[in-house]
Structure 1
Amino acid sequence: MKEKILNQLQNFSKGMFVPVLILPIAGIIIAMGNILTNAKLAEYFPFLKNDIIYGLGKMLSGSLVSILINLGIIFCVGLAVGLSKKKKAEAAFTSLLVFLVFINAMNIFLKFTNKLVPADALRGSGQTMVLGVQVLDMGVFLGIILGIVVAYVHNRFCEKEFNGAFQIYGGSRLVFIILIPITVILSIVFSYVWPSVQYGISSMGEFIKGAGNFGVFTYGTLERLLIPTGLHHLVYTPFLYTSLGGVAEIGGKVFEGARNIYFAEMADPTITQLSASVIWDARGLSKMFGLIGACLAMYHTALPKNKSKIKAILIPAAVTSILAGVTEPIEFSFMFVAPILFVLHAFLSGLGMVVLNVFGVRAIGPNGLIDFLLYNIPLGIDKTGWPMFILIGLAQFAMYYFIFRFLIVKFKLKTPGREDDGNTKLYSKSDYKEKSAKDKKAGSSNLAPVIVEGLGGKDNIIKVDNCYTRLRLVLKDSSIVNKELLQNETAASGVVIKGENVQVVYGLKVTSVRRSVDEYLGIEAN
């Protein structure tokens, strides 16, 4: 049962990537619009005072904010696509129809039962306008629930076909037919149930806020501790996109979730200081600073004969962590050989967020330096306090370095570069050049046969999927996975095996790796 629950959570976590990964793009465009309309920058760059440029900036920031206030439908469609196993385009179309049916069915039922509040009294009533329809304010949870329901029914009935006159009602049309009564019933059920859920969510948010820095510490620590399971997305996503991460009215519109509030406040020039909810999206501190100190500690404690080898691995891993916030290559380098360091890393990551909160720093950098520069610099020091973010980051760098170095030496931990039995494969400069060449080929069909072989062959693979950095698979027998082959011959940074679920870490090139494996296996629907 435990393994079954874990499998379902991992599938849900993978499905969440479809809607979640598109939102940072919206944030970056909003940031660009904010740059073009920033009055302080216009003093140094006169061309920004041009009406056309200013108008373009307003259009960019204003139009993308509309995504943030319609996250329900975005998550509904995105999650249906992410969780559906085949015919994903049809699943997306069905989810859109279901969303429209739900909000209108709920609106009609609320009218019948005289539960609709006057349109001018929506604030604080628990109701809101969704696509021009007044319903209970379920926020992003509405999209998540409907996306899961649609995907479940779609996966079961999308290939069901009929003969004769009923042939036209098979496939995706049958899925929609089945979903209509389900959706209407759900709209009625949630009309009664959701007010209690709203109260529970509000109470949980208040509890975490009431816990103060302990709540921030718990959040930051868990977000890192769950990295090996791939379930860390389930920790931060509710805080970034639902009322758990805060609720704020900005420019006459209500926004829920830390990231949504941040983007909305970023686009509003009348706001002089960002709200405290932004702290939930300050997860990039350890990515840009802490783990770099850990890398330096591992390098300085490496055996002399392995110095050049470990440097060839740690430098590109550190650069990737700083720029893009991809931390798995570093974390996997000590996660299994020295688990105590990984637990310490999670502890220090949570502690770093507490320090940011204590000093009132409102800068964010969830995905590394690039995001940090685009999101925070244009807003100015007063609004974000970004220089203090850097100072705290440098302090965290030093803390990671000295504590990691002390523990590695004190307990003789076999971190990369310190093993003398050859169990861990490290690379010299010549090896690294060869590995880099393999990295470039990793997206081609040349490595697909090797990857499939390392996974136990075609017949052993049940399902292929991927997230931001990992190839995620469901296998018939995970005990025959060849970790050494995958790491040494396909440039994988690490391999995680949890029951029938296997995750192979390839970093940012995972999409091309997934594509090549799909082509080799003859999978086209995904």
Structure 2
Amino acid sequence: ALVHNRFIDTSFNNAFQVYGGARFVFIVLIPVVVLLAIVSTFVWPVIQTGIDGLGGIIQQTGNFGIFLYGTLERLLIPTGLHHLIYTPFLYTSLGGVAEVGGQVFEGARNIYFAEIADPAVRVLSQSVIWDARGISKMFGLIGACLAMYQTAKPENKVKVKAILIPAVVTSFIAGVTEPIEFSFMFVAPVLFVIHSALSGLSMVALNLFGSRAIGPNGFIDFLLYNLPLGIEKTRWPVYLIVGVVFFFLYYFLFRFLITKLNLKTVGREEDGTETKLYSKKEYKEKQLAGAGVGVMANDQAATSPTGKTSISAIITKALGGDDNIKTIDNCYTRLRLKLKDPELVDEALLKDETQAKGVIKNGENVHVVYGLTVPKVREELENYLGREGEIE
């Protein structure tokens, strides 16, 4: 990303035009990737040793290890590294080794699958605790959402209810938590830390009270795994009881912290701010806008640094305006457009002011010939019109 952002706007003249823009990024990346590969051969073994060491600590420290596992599995979600926490425990010897039906299995998930299929197994092994990660998804976050609803401004509660109910249902039924977590992860990081710690504590509680229920995600998984196996083999009622307890823990802790620290969770935004669940991308854009960075592309591109009207503004005018442009694309040398009314195209303006070498019309399809610089022309036009990354 750094290389792309640094070199994407590089352009050359004459015969070297073809190597500008995105092509130059790939050229620069060749030595960069080679250098990174060399560095990685020395750096990654150290990182891998650290990951293995963390896994060993989690495995060997009993309930503290379970707490650490559950906490990190949630806490690392913003980085995507949470997969490095739970995957080794589900599929390698870190999650346990057991002999079932005369065969040796490694990993929590492999073990309990074998135990499910073996009628001789009366109770699932303790290793199933590594796949009880869904308790905070089914219960905890629902309590958090109730707290956010009750602490929302009175005038926003109807909107907040409409927003949170689908998120709660998704979390409870399918275990998809991102819409809820990302709503407070960045506006109130302390809540996300508390959520992560409570997730770890809930798994410790399940282990202490002898639950052997399988609960990787939401209620659907919980039903499909545990009800057919019965209470004796899974002790699934313990899972539900612990879940209800943590529902209330989440609720009271979130409510206390939101009101005590005046956290701007959903429905408590400043006046004039839209009430919604924000994704990570949307939150960053919102922060940039607040710093004066997130201005409209049209305002940025309407004039060049010299104060003259930009090429993109002239192209837009010559094509009949923004509303007349349906799609923008390019081939090797042509800017390819679909227009609502091709008759509005001002060919003379395109040729005189934007150095277009020709204009070709075929129904609503209009091609403007610019030569090898056309990728740059298209990029600047899309930025000007605010259509970056638009897909037909």
Asked if structure 2 preserves the Cα contact closer than 8 Å seen for 1:262 and 1:274, the reply is yes
- The corresponding residue for 2:72 is 222
Q: Which residue of 1 aligns with 2:85?
A: 235
Match of 2:184 in 1: 334
- Over the aligned positions, Cα root-mean-square deviation in angstroms equals 3.0
1:6-45 alignment, distance < 5 Å? none
Matched, 1:252 2:102: yes
Q: Does 1:315 align with 2:171?
A: no
| Aligned residues of 2:58 and 2:69 also touching (Cα < 8 A) | no
Secondary structure of the 2:270 match is coil
**What is the CA-CA distance between 1:378 and the residue it aligns to?**
1.0
Q: 1:267 aligned to 2:117?
A: yes
TM-score by length of 2: 0.57
Distance 2:190 2:169 in 1: 24
Name the aligned partner's letter for residue 224 of structure 1. R
Whether contact under 8 Å (2:160, 2:276) holds in the other structure is yes
- Specify the code of the residue in structure 2 equivalent to 1:400: Y
Seen in structure 2, the aligned counterparts of structure 1 residues 311 and 343 have a Cα distance that, compared at 3 Å, is same
Q: Which residue number corresponds to residue 180 of structure 1? A: none
Q: Distance in 2 between matches of 1:213 and 1:417?
A: 37
- Secondary structure of the corresponding residue to residue 249 of structure 1: strand
Q: Which amino acid aligns with 1:326?
A: V
SS at match of 2:258: helix
SS at 1:255's partner residue?
strand
Contact 2:267 2:275 (C-alpha < 8 Å) held by counterparts:
no
Aligned length: 243
Q: Are 1:355 and 1:392, in contact at CA under 8 Å, matched by a contact in 2?
A: yes
Could you list the runs of 5+ residues in structure 2 that have no partner in the other structure?
A: 4-29, 31-47, 278-327, 331-382
One-letter amino acid matched to 1:383:
K
TM-score (norm 1): 0.43
Structure 2 residue 227 is the aligned partner of structure 1 residue 377: yes
Aligned residue type for 1:301: T
Which letter does structure 1 place at the counterpart of 2:207?
A: N
Q: Provide the rounded CA distance (Å) in 1 between the counterparts of 2:62 and 2:329.
A: 51
Instruction: Provide structure 1 residue ranges, at least 5 long, that are not aligned to the other structure.
Output: 5-155, 157-196, 428-456, 460-481, 487-516, 522-526
Question: Of 113, 128, 142, which residue of structure 2 is paired with 1:278?
Answer: 128
Matches within 5 A, 1:136-175: none
Match of 1:368 among 218, 225, 228: 218
Shift of 1:375: 0.5
1:210 aligned onto 2:60:
yes
Cα distance between partner residues in 2 of 1:320 and 1:224: 17
CA contact 1:205–1:246 (8 Å) conserved in 2: no
Larger radius of gyration: 2
CA-to-partner distance for each residue in 1:270-291, whole Å, 9 max, x for gaps?
0001111110000000000000
1:105-143 Cα shifts (integer Å, max 9, x gaps): xxxxxxxxxxxxxxxxxxxxxxxxxxxxxxxxxxxxxxx
For residue 255 of structure 1, report the CA deviation from its aligned partner.
1.0
Alpha carbons 1:416, 1:424 under 8 Å: kept: no
Cα distance, 1:206 vs. partner? 6.0
Contact 2:212 2:233 in 1 (8 A): yes
Q: Distance in 1 between matches of 2:55 and 2:188?
A: 35
Deviations 1:207-239 (A, max 9, x none): 434311100000000000011112211110000
Amino acid at match of 2:63: N
The structure 1 segments of at least 4 consecutive aligned residues displaced by more than 4 Å after TM superposition are 203-207
Q: Identify which of 401, 405, 416 aligns with 2:251.
A: 401
CA–CA distance in 1 between the matches of 2:216 and 2:223? 11
